[in-house]
A and B are shown apart, each in its own frame.
Chain A
Amino acid sequence: MFDFVSFIPRAIVQGIPLLLGSTGETLTEKSGNLNLGIPGIMYVGAISGVIGAFFYEQSAVEMNGFLAVSIPLLCSLLGSGLMGLLYCFLTVTLRANQNVTGLALTTFGVGFGNFFGGSLIKLAGSEVPAIVLSATSSYFCASLPFAGKLGWFGSIFLSYGFLAYLAVVISLAAAYFLRHTRAGLHLRAVGESPATADAAGINVVRYKYGATVIGSMIAGLGGLYYIMDYTSGIWSSDAFGDRGWLAIALVIFTIWRPDVGVAASFLFGGLYILHMYIPSGMNLAIKEIYKMLPYVVTIAVLIISSMRNKRENQPPAGLGLPYFREER
């Protein structure tokens, strides 16, 4: 029998970093910026939080729960926000090519993360090539005290740290923002047709900056969650892997809808770990094929939506294109 009670929570914790990453990227893409720097930004979000937590753990005589959470959180937001700002400065203000800038940002971000991670490992003088921030992590991981007593219900719904719930709230809020607020409407117009938005008196540059920087911060939280909650505060080089690209895949899979992202990220998380639950006997190779699933379904969604050519399901029309008013 397939063990859902253990599978679902594991799928969800796998899905949360993807959810945050894809929500951030969706907001960014809705402004017409295809930010391929998201994998790098998630690394920076993670390492910035780790740096904050590391020095707080080192300096604090007695850990204060509020500070232990808010210092890494603010550091993470600051780090990933700055990355978003750099992306915008290059692509919006200096009108550089978005793909090239994004890839450069990813190179830089992943290097930044691994470099400072490595340096901290040295500073800590650790035996293993990893930083262990168990104390900070315990605050991030804290779930409701009675969750353990509620059997399967508790473990499926209540066993997560606060960032997981925050991720869901952010995604739903982002969906509400896009669909039901004036700023959200304006943002969609900017991504679809910056010239039209400009003519309607919407400040295109401001919206692009705002969406990209906030989107980067949200994606950065995905990195922070991965370290502080999923791995229980253990940073090791390259552990985050290619989840950033998977988050970009998720954006396509959810056809640019953050609320769909909640369920879809859990599905992706499930697909990501499905190989551990499929009885494959001695055939370990087949597990690698299962890991391919998230990408295959993403391509399928991309193809089907382009074939059906339904306008709501297409990427924002202005995606990837720079906007220069005098070039109309």
Chain B
Amino acid sequence: MGEQIPAVKLRNVTKTFGSITANSKVSLEIYRGEILSLLGENGSGKTTLMNMLSGIYFPDEGEIFIHGKEVVIRSPKDAFDLGIGMIHQHFKLVDVLTAAENIVLGLKGKLDLKAASEKIRAICDAYGFEVDPNQKVYDMSVSQKQTVEIVKVLYRGADILILDEPTAVLTPQETDKLFAVLRNMKADGKSIIIITHKLQEVLDISDRVAVLRKGEYIGDMATGQADAQKLTDMMVGRSVALNIQRPDAVDPKPRIEVKGLTVHSADGILKLDNVSFTANSGEILGVAGISGCGQKELLEAIAGLQPVDGGSIRFVSDDGTREELVGKDPLSIADMGVTLSFVPEDRLGMGLVGNMDLAGNMMLRSFRSGHSPFADRKGPHKLAEEVVEELEVVTPSIETPVRRLSGGNVQKVLVGREIASSPTVLLTAYAVRGLDINSSYTIYDLINRQKAAGVAVIYVGEDLDVLLELCDRILVLCGGKVSGIVSGRDADKREVGLMMTKLGGSADE
């Protein structure tokens, strides 16, 4: 490819959101007839970078060149006009319309669905897609919807395609099919960028791989020279000492026993596949894995919020009696005398009510107590004051709706409430996501104190450095399966990184 003009060239692109730098001076090139993998952990700035190419964000600094000409991309339409099409993780399709109708949506001219269908068929034949133009989107599987999105982009004449984690929602067979199509498009001279964090796929499909870490461009290499080990090193970097305290486990005894847990999502996708493990009291069990590997379903299944298709979740009391949690809702779990606290990922949409004040949110757990028809408001009010004082929550008053607080303070309110009920089991999902350093350490400290009090903590996290320093043991999930449980004290970051990225059992060991 040597002297060729790159189809896309980014030079020193920087984007910040408030105080957070999402991309810092990133430079990148992609050529015609090439598949480039953009690799990086969650939060490394891959999607932000590509959103600037597709016109969703506007860069703060830096230049973009398309086929050698400097361009300004201010809207998705500008991007389309330049032949850039992006397939987002969340499909933008109208469910009750057919594939063809969705594909021509927003275009100008007379509506001729027959001609459109023919053109769609021609595109499908050229690249090996399977799309029925007259099928309604709500009848489609996730992979079919994705196909429609890709065809939509091609229909508009895009020759630069960006796919944001296209395989996250696909089965291995569907992934193979997608890759076959991508190879056909490459042969046709299209430029393709795949955002991913799955190493196996990078090695399978791409010609070249570029790695981002914490918003910075780390480097690129031809896939032929890369192997899983090298890429993992680039992606996760060296271990960083964080100096998070890790007291010894306190008299660990089995508390939650999960055996053969299997869960399908509402649209029928296998989310947890025969998961078994034991969480001990007085210990922090970390859960590592790339996002969407079943972490959410695992926690919600234990909390009684997720219908389970198979397996068992048993709560072990101090006297050794075991009680089944599967099939029980949160209320009946509480009625069994199991105090189970849950800090969910979606803080304002699930854990808290954004429009209620701090005291009102404290009530969520306690409002049922007592036999009077009236809810106790004094207790929660006092609890809110205590939480504000102890956790140093910055808020104008107890009466402020929580949605007005900053992310870190919202999380302090949520965690403060959840540990106030002195739980025996504490589930946390991405407890420090979006938090500044100080707030993060406050949360680590709170979790450690729970551990010291003999609570069984399950900590779902995304930052491997944190998991390795905080947790006693780490359960690694990959594609809904357990790929191993390692000791937090001895495990090596690269080892865990590899376990996270190996493709659902098909393995590169």
- Stretch touching chain A among B87-95, B125-133, B393-401, B402-410: B87-95
- Stretch touching chain A among B102-110, B239-247, B489-497: B102-110
B residues less than 8 Å from A311 (CB atoms)? 95-96, 136, 138
CB-CB nearest in chain B for A200: B106
Binary flags per residue of A185-204, CB closer than 8 Å to B gives 1, else 0: 11011001101110111100
B residues less than 8 Å from A317 (CB atoms)? 95-96
B97 within 8 A of A: yes
B101 within 8 A of A: yes
- A192 touching B95 in the complex, CB below 8 Å, given contacts A180-B111, A182-B111: yes
- Would B95 and A200 count as touching, CB distance under 8 A? no
Q: Which residues of B contact A (CB under 8 A)?
A: 76-77, 92-97, 101, 104-111, 136, 138
Q: How far is the CB of A30 from chain B (nearest CB, A)?
A: 11
Known: A189-B105, A311-B95, A314-B96. 14 other contacts (CB 8 A): A180-B111, A181-B111, A182-B109, A182-B111, A185-B104, A185-B111, A186-B105, A192-B96, A192-B97, A196-B94, A200-B105, A202-B105, A202-B106, A317-B96
CB-CB nearest in chain A for B96: A311
Q: Mind listing 29 A-B residue pairs with CB under 8 Å?
A: A180-B111, A182-B107, A182-B110, A184-B111, A185-B104, A186-B105, A186-B106, A188-B96, A188-B97, A189-B97, A192-B94, A192-B95, A192-B96, A192-B97, A193-B94, A196-B94, A197-B94, A197-B105, A200-B105, A200-B106, A201-B76, A201-B77, A201-B106, A202-B106, A311-B95, A311-B96, A311-B136, A311-B138, A317-B95
- Would A199 and B94 count as touching, CB distance under 8 A? no
- For A, the interface residue count at a CB cutoff of 8 angstroms equals 21
CB-CB nearest in chain B for A193: B94
A288 within 8 A of B: no
A262-321 at interface with B (beta carbon < 8 Å): 311-312, 314, 317
- Would A189 and B77 count as touching, CB distance under 8 A? no
Q: Which residues of A contact B (CB under 8 A)?
A: 180-182, 184-186, 188-189, 192-193, 195-197, 199-202, 311-312, 314, 317
Q: How far is the CB of A77 from chain B (nearest CB, A)?
A: 27
A residues less than 8 Å from B96 (CB atoms)? 188, 192, 311-312, 314, 317
A192 vs B136: C-alpha distance in the bound complex, in angstroms?
A: 14
A residues less than 8 Å from B93 (CB atoms)? 196
CB-CB nearest in chain B for A199: B92
- Would B97 and A200 count as touching, CB distance under 8 A? no
B residues less than 8 Å from A184 (CB atoms)? 111
A184 vs B101: C-alpha distance in the bound complex, in angstroms?
A: 11
A193 vs B107: C-alpha distance in the bound complex, in angstroms?
A: 17
CB-CB nearest in chain B for A188: B97
B residues less than 8 Å from A201 (CB atoms)? 76-77, 106
CB-CB nearest in chain A for B91: A196
A189 vs B97: C-alpha distance in the bound complex, in angstroms?
A: 8
Q: How many A-B residue pairs have CB under 8 A?
A: 55
A296 vs B367: C-alpha distance in the bound complex, in angstroms?
A: 41
B residues less than 8 Å from A195 (CB atoms)? 92
- A188 touching B138 in the complex, CB below 8 Å, given contacts A182-B110, A200-B105, A202-B105: no
A180 vs B111: C-alpha distance in the bound complex, in angstroms?
A: 7
A188 vs B77: C-alpha distance in the bound complex, in angstroms?
A: 21
CB-CB nearest in chain B for A190: B94
User: What 8 A-B pairs come out closest when comparing CB atoms?
Assistant: A200-B106, A182-B111, A201-B106, A200-B105, A192-B94, A311-B138, A196-B92, A189-B94
A188 vs B97: C-alpha distance in the bound complex, in angstroms?
A: 9
Q: How far is the CB of A267 from chain B (nearest CB, A)?
A: 26
- Would B106 and A197 count as touching, CB distance under 8 A? yes
- Would B95 and A185 count as touching, CB distance under 8 A? no
CB-CB nearest in chain A for B56: A199
A residues less than 8 Å from B104 (CB atoms)? 182, 185
Which among A181, A192, A314 has the greatest number of chain B C-beta atoms within 10 A? A192
Q: How far is the CB of A195 from chain B (nearest CB, A)?
A: 8
- A200 touching B92 in the complex, CB below 8 Å, given contacts A188-B97, A311-B136: yes
A317 vs B137: C-alpha distance in the bound complex, in angstroms?
A: 14
Which among B105, B110, B138 has the greatest number of chain A C-beta atoms within 10 A? B105
A181 vs B107: C-alpha distance in the bound complex, in angstroms?
A: 12
A195 vs B94: C-alpha distance in the bound complex, in angstroms?
A: 10
Q: How far is the CB of B104 from chain A (nearest CB, A)?
A: 7
- Would A185 and B105 count as touching, CB distance under 8 A? yes
A residues less than 8 Å from B92 (CB atoms)? 195-196, 199-200
A residues less than 8 Å from B109 (CB atoms)? 182
A196 vs B91: C-alpha distance in the bound complex, in angstroms?
A: 9
Q: How far is the CB of B289 from chain A (nearest CB, A)?
A: 27
Q: How far is the CB of B261 from chain A (nearest CB, A)?
A: 29
CB-CB nearest in chain A for B111: A182
A271 vs B430: C-alpha distance in the bound complex, in angstroms?
A: 60
A residues less than 8 Å from B138 (CB atoms)? 311
A192 vs B98: C-alpha distance in the bound complex, in angstroms?
A: 13
B residues less than 8 Å from A182 (CB atoms)? 104, 107-111
Q: How far is the CB of A187 from chain B (nearest CB, A)?
A: 11
